Amino acid sequence: MSSADTTPEGEGDFTHRQIMTILAGLMMGMFLAALDQTIVATAIRTIADDLHGFSVQAWATTAFLITSTISTPLYGKLSDIYGRRRFFLAAIGIFVVGSMLCGLADNMYQLAAYRAVQGIGAGGLMSLALAIIGDIVPPRERAKYQGYFLAVFGSASVLGPVLGGLFAEADDLLGIAGWRYIFYINVPLGLLAMVVVARVLHLPHHRTDHRIDWPGALALIVCLVPLLTVAEQGRDWGWDSTRAIGCYVVGVIGLVAFILAERAYKDEALLPLRLFRIRTFGVGAASSFVVGMAMFGGLMMVPLYLQIVKGSTPMVAGLQMIPFVFGIMTGSIVFGQIIFRTGRYRVIPIIGSTLMLVALFLFSLITADTPLPAVMAIMLLMGLGLGGNMQPMVTAVQNAVSPREIGTATSAVTFFRQMGGTLGTAVFLSVLFAAVPGKIRDAFTAAESDPAFQQALRDNPTQAQALQAGQSTEGLNDTSFINTLSDVVAHPFKVGFSESMSLVFLLAAIIMIAGLAVVLFLPELPLQNRSAAAARAAEDREAAAGAL
């Protein structure tokens, strides 16, 4: 057992200064994972073109998603057994190595393989950071500190598109293709995070012997790999294609095997099934899954709306998302203070879910002509809702489980949110691209009777051909042609696209109704006044005294 993972008996309570010092290291690690998701998404088309792999670019995203999702519960369980510090450092190290390799990739298949390495590291960055906060901060005070994490998440959502656009637009920087710096930037940030974490993160931990649930881990891989693959590729394959059906079958077999393994390993399982009998945990897992669907699936549409309908560049769209970030920060701070001062948390996720529901419904009402300030006001409302939903739910789950299972419980909540987000993204993109061609054709049919539209086509006859191509599903693979059209000619296309997005937002709002209904079952338990580390230390002292 490493001395870095232990402290003398009686420790476990941390001062505010110690917490803030540790928090700095955790935020740097989480920033790496949050930034990577948005910065790569912005530049993936440029990357794919440079590596001559546009048709297989989705695999770079799929590989990262699969490994990060699968590794999340593994990090949680293993850190409960062996201690957080070593696994958090390992996660950062793996992520840095994966980032360096991604920057060296010569083709899309290499990039996909290296993104898989990145994902293995990313799976531990988010969940372990939240688990460590659970170790060092009592539940009543936890929400006000966890707000910093949401601020990191929100900031990365803005900086990612800005930096991604900046690097993607640079053909050459110091003799290296600009897009490669999207991955290289993680290397100094990651190394700095490792130094900070190694110096400041010293948690009390006393290892106990456990069996490791390798059968459950293997079954989880068999379950998730095909299901996540079909979630990402199903739109191209066809949801009822032979490959998709094969993935469904293998996934179900893996799920059954995973449940059997968890039943056999009981308390030592990767995800002990008895946790679901804890009402708070069950509600937290279900809520995280549903909110993940609505949140990731719905928010994915906002940058598309800004770029396609409003004509913003990725960099400008990132800056236009600032109200969303401000809402997250404000909501997390305000709601965190309410929990700290009142000791009550149940009403906060209810308020947060309600705000998200209202925001998604308002998003469904926006059109191609909706003023940008109105759209940004809805972003602010959505951010406030997220600030009141994500972290308070994590706090509630951590408060309800044994202090020795903080890592397992926290990673489970993160895991279910990722799964919900993956499913939501797959479903909503399918709905969007199924609706877009018809909506655009309807919009152009309606515009044909407009004299201004007819005159614009006569003045620009070449634009009619671009319009014809853009009304097909294949033509939507590259929407940059919109920028070559006059405002009058492009307007029906934007109307069709915004109407299709409205359908997606409405679907997300309906799903969010289910999320609100689930949150209503969240019980109100007294918030503990000791951190998980202090509680474990007290249990160890009692056990030692009883053995004398």
Average pLDDT over residues 237-246: 89
536 lies in some domain: no
Same domain, 197 and 230: no
Across 488-543, where does the E strand assignment appear?
none
Same domain, 132 and 231: no
Average pLDDT over residues 456-476: 59
Q: Give CA–CA dist 408/474, Å, rounded.
A: 44
Give 548's pLDDT tier (boundaries 50, 70, 90).
Answer: low
Give 6's pLDDT tier (boundaries 50, 70, 90).
Answer: very low
Distances (CA, A) of 412 to 161, 365, 408, 415, 482: 29, 35, 6, 5, 43
Please give the radius of gyration of the chain, using alpha carbons only, rounded to the nearest integer. Answer: 24
Q: Is 175 left (phi over 0), alpha (psi -120 to 50) or beta?
A: left
pLDDT of 174 reads: 77
Evaluate whether 445 touches 493 at the Cβ level (below 8 Å). Answer: no
Among 151-165, 265-279, 412-426, which is the least confidently predicted range? 151-165
pLDDT of 394 reads: 86
Q: What is the pLDDT of residues 389-408, one digit of tens each?
A: 887 888 899 889 888 888 88
Average pLDDT over residues 63-90: 88
Same domain, 256 and 355: no
Rank 247-261, 292-306, 438-452, 493-507 by mean pLDDT and report only the highest.
Answer: 247-261
Average pLDDT over residues 349-359: 94
pLDDT of 315 reads: 75
Average pLDDT over residues 170-182: 81
What six digits make up the tokens of 90? 């390992």
Same domain, 189 and 244: no
544 lies in some domain: no
CA 451 to chain centre: 46
Number of domains making up the chain: 3
Q: Which residues contact 433 (CB under 8 A, 6 or more apart)?
A: 235, 473, 476
541 lies in some domain: no
Going by the DSSP 8-state scheme, the letter that residue 528 receives in this structure is P
Q: Give CA–CA dist 95/115, Å, rounded.
A: 9
pLDDT of 1 reads: 38
Going by the DSSP 8-state scheme, the letter that residue 366 receives in this structure is -
Neighbours of 169 (CB within 10 A): 14
413 lies in some domain: yes
Q: What percent of the chain has pLDDT over 70?
A: 86
| Residue numbers of the domain that contains 514 | 278-524
Q: Which of 210, 229, 247 is the last residue of a domain?
A: 210
Same domain, 146 and 290: no
Q: Which of 210, 226, 244 is the last residue of a domain?
A: 210
pLDDT of 8 reads: 36
| 3-state SS, residue 44 | helix
Evaluate whether 51 touches 107 at the Cβ level (below 8 Å). Answer: yes
Q: What is the pLDDT of residues 13-62, one digit of tens each?
A: 677 787 888 888 888 888 888 888 778 877 776 787 778 765 566 778 77
Same domain, 379 and 424: yes
Give 7's pLDDT tier (boundaries 50, 70, 90).
Answer: very low
pLDDT of 138 reads: 84
Same domain, 321 and 359: yes
Same domain, 108 and 151: yes
Among 130-134, 148-152, 266-270, which is the least confidently predicted range? 148-152
Of residues 21 and 105, more confidently modeled: 105
Among 272-281, 353-362, 449-458, which is the least confidently predicted range? 449-458
Same domain, 336 and 383: yes
22 lies in some domain: yes
Same domain, 118 and 221: no
310 lies in some domain: yes
pTM here is 0.82
Same domain, 200 and 283: no
Q: Which residues contact 526 (CB under 8 A, 6 or more apart)?
A: 343
Among 4-18, 426-440, 476-490, which is the least confidently predicted range? 4-18
49 lies in some domain: yes
In this predicted structure, the answer to whether residue 361 has a pLDDT above a threshold of 90 is yes
Q: Which of 224, 247, 269 is the last residue of a domain?
A: 269
Same domain, 520 and 406: yes
* Residues forming a β-bridge with 176: 173
388 lies in some domain: yes
Of residues 351 and 456, more confidently modeled: 351
- CATH code at position 10: 1.20.1250.20
Average pLDDT over residues 427-443: 82
Give 157's pLDDT tier (boundaries 50, 70, 90).
Answer: confident
In this predicted structure, the answer to whether residue 119 has a pLDDT above a threshold of 60 is yes
